[in-house]
Structure 1
């Protein structure tokens, strides 16, 4: 029986993450004057959510624990964001008063900051290109979490609770910048994975750390090929 070849699902998952992150980060930076994130819902459900989740499951099938954990988790993250942002669909935001929602969303994002930092530590044994995704994504989550922790009032009211609160604009912008860097880092890693399959005339450097498994395997292979 011939061995069945399974394609590397990582570039697909990274592309789903990159595009959805790019879109939300552009809105957080108020690019082209767009400030309402409703357009993110479609990408978050379908591409960043479902497709990335499937890619994570396929990573599990090929035995990549890190890929399965990271891609599946961020697929779930984007589906969660889509549920929160769906206008009138799940009534998440309307179930809180304005300030309480900002603080609840802050807790949600702080949780993802902690998780992303854990993944960042794991990439220290991989490559510089892989590290760069989480090195920029972790501060993005931190800035966005803080933007909801320290919101500002957008409409006056006799009651602080009844007032309308919005995320801190400066911190949201900073989160958008870091998110944009993470999106392009993810696209770079995706492209590096695609061109490494031999279907193109070039490859992209990813900067494997000297202590990484890839570098160790290359050293072992070089010693085996060297004359005695």
Structure 2
């Protein structure tokens, strides 16, 4: 009887999706926190489409191949979030959408993203602590930004920006840890295994 060929090992697409999310989140959050000028948003738009959006969509589709439901839902959803955000800004800046009175609706949309992220955070209770922290800071960030926009409270928006920096940075750290640990074939970067 012929020996069965083993299927090649599949790479983990999670670190790719995490860094696409994290890097884009840090850049936008620096603007939301007031550490970079609001006029820098046009720099975020192509990054949101290409790295925050497209790369996460690709990572989500690759998660399907690995059988990771959590990764599939997270990366496809947040990839779509970045496309929504970038398209909204592009259309608003080019007069295709009138966003002048949309603050409360944008705020509610961000709160709904917070609700989605909250239930994804519950699922991270079975994953490593680094992912748990990414999703904890993300759902709180969405609520701060959403309430800040819906209630016209710039201080909450700014706090959401600062927490978004922490969230995006922790996503980049988690990506770094997963790539490094896979490369070394052993835990080198602590991720807080459960």
Greater RCO structure (CA 8 Å; 6+ sep)? 2
Deviations 1:13-69 (A, max 9, x none): 00000011001100001114x113221101110000001110011011110000111
Map of 2:167 onto structure 1: 182
Shift of 1:130: 1.1
TM-score where L is the length of structure 2: 0.91
- Structure 1: which 5+ runs fail to align? 152-167, 210-228
Higher helix share: 2
Quick check: 1:44 aligned with 2:45? no
3-state secondary structure, aligned to 1:122: helix
Distance 2:125 2:95 in 1: 39
Deviations 1:69-96 (A, max 9, x none): 101110000010000111544723x1x5
- Structure 2: which 5+ runs fail to align? none
User: Which structure: larger Rg?
Assistant: 1
- Selected match of 1:67 from 71, 85, 102: 71
Quick check: 1:192 aligned with 2:193? no
How many corresponding residue pairs? 188
- Selected match of 1:204 from 170, 189, 192: 189
> Where in structure 2 are the equivalents of 1:51-130 lying within 5 Å?
51-86=55-90, 88-89=93-94, 91-92=96-97, 94=98, 98-99=100-101, 101-130=102-131
Q: Are residues 90 and 53 of structure 1, via their aligned partners in 2, closer, same or farther at CA, if it must alter by over 3 Å?
A: farther
Distance 2:180 2:166 in 1: 21
Distance 1:190 1:89 in 2: 35
TM-score where L is the length of structure 1: 0.78
